[in-house]
Amino acid sequence: MGDEYLKIDGSLGEGGGQVLRVALCLSALYKIPIEIDNIRAGRPKPGLSAQHLKGVELVTKMCNAEVTGAELGSTNLKFKPGSMLHKKHELTADTKTAGCICLLIQVALPCALFASKAGTYILKGGTNVPFGPQIEYFKNVFRPLLKKFGGFFELDILRRGYYPQGGGEVHMRVTPVRNLKAVHLLDPGIPIDVRGWSFVAGSVNIIEAQKMTNDAKTKIIQELKKCDITTPPVEIITYKEPRNSAVGHGSGINIMCKTSRDCVFGGSGLGSKQRTPTPPGIEAANQLLYPILADACVDEHLQDQMIILMVLAKGLSKIRIGKNDLTCHAATAKQVAEIMLGSRGLSFTMNQDTNGSKILECNGLGLQNEFLD
């Protein structure tokens, strides 16, 4: 390997896996050799966990990279990307733990969109686990956002995996694009439809799912009424997973809201044996309500995902994030992107409209898929 590596401090911002994921994506896509030090320095167990290591290995295969430091617990990684020319139609990443599958998707999907050919990605680990998005969120909330940018993926959930066993399996199919297009999301509209799924698996009683459903519906209706917002239909399906479609014992709830301006918000909660300050149904409702009450076009969990799409898109993107600042995860993603691509003309600005809502703008670099020219 050569010596010209862009050095990145892994303790930036939230000090977790976000720095690693964004840096790997942009390294692979823009062919920038990187060295990341202090990986996950802000976490109780610093360094690469099984989930992060499998993300590194997956992107390594996708861009034929040369890597040193790719081992469990490593706090330093050197990554020198090669070509995105795929030799295989199918790639597999298995955390062999309850590592979050959605975080594997976060690091792999941007690269897959600019690969040489369509591919299937077989991802194994946790589908509904703490400290990461639930798989339904990615399918029902993130996918519509990606579609606005001009990208698409298919997602099949073959088996759910819960903490601590894992064992879930998801198949993602991605067709590459020539480029992504800039978006303007400036008017959130009003809620027109709320629906969701509340489920239990294994030995967890269906009563838990029913409670999550009731808690979420009650909270949503009460808060919208209190704020004088017309309440749309709220439909949450309650069910128990068949024995052969889930590994382990778990419960959770995922809800989504569509608006009159085609915005989609999400909220999620997970059941736990330990008592938590906020019941999962209430937590999911709070997450869903936040962008509605904040006059935003994306929810908080979409913010960090929109950053990399804005960077890659061709032209000026504008997205209304509401009255608060960017989340820590989104701010970290933005900072890493600026470090890696600022010299190429990447720029972000934050403006404010007359109502006090903040609008993030990004003059994207317009990455072109070299294989589709």
Among all residues, which ones are annotated catalytic? 329
Tell me whether residue 171 is annotated as binding: no
CB environment 258-288: b (16+ within 10 A), e (fewer): bbeeebbbbbbbbbeeeeeeebbbbbbbbbb
In terms of Cα–Cα distance, which of 359, 355, 337 is closest to 347?
Answer: 337
Tell me whether residue 187 is annotated as binding: no
Q: How far apart are the first and last CA of the chain?
A: 29
From residue 124, give the alpha-carbon distance in Å to each of 127, 135, 271: 8, 12, 21
Task: Determine the distance from the C-alpha atom of residue 164 to the mean position of all C-alpha atoms in its chain, rounded to a whole number.
Answer: 21
In terms of Cα–Cα distance, which of 369, 329, 372, 363 is closest to 344?
Answer: 363
Residues sharing a CB contact under 8 Å with residue 131, sequence separation 6 or more, in sequence order: 100
Whether residue 59 contacts residue 65, with contact meaning beta carbons closer than 8 Å, is answered with: yes
Tell me whether residue 302 is annotated as binding: yes
Tell me whether residue 109 is annotated as binding: no
In terms of Cα–Cα distance, which of 108, 90, 79 is closest to 2?
Answer: 79
Tell me whether residue 222 is annotated as binding: no
Tell me whether residue 305 is annotated as binding: yes
Task: Determine the distance from the C-alpha atom of residue 165 to the mean position of all C-alpha atoms in its chain, rounded to a whole number.
Answer: 22
How buried is 230 (Cβ within 10 angstroms: 0-12 exposed, 13-18 middle, 19+ buried)? exposed
Show binding-site residues for ATP: 106, 301-305
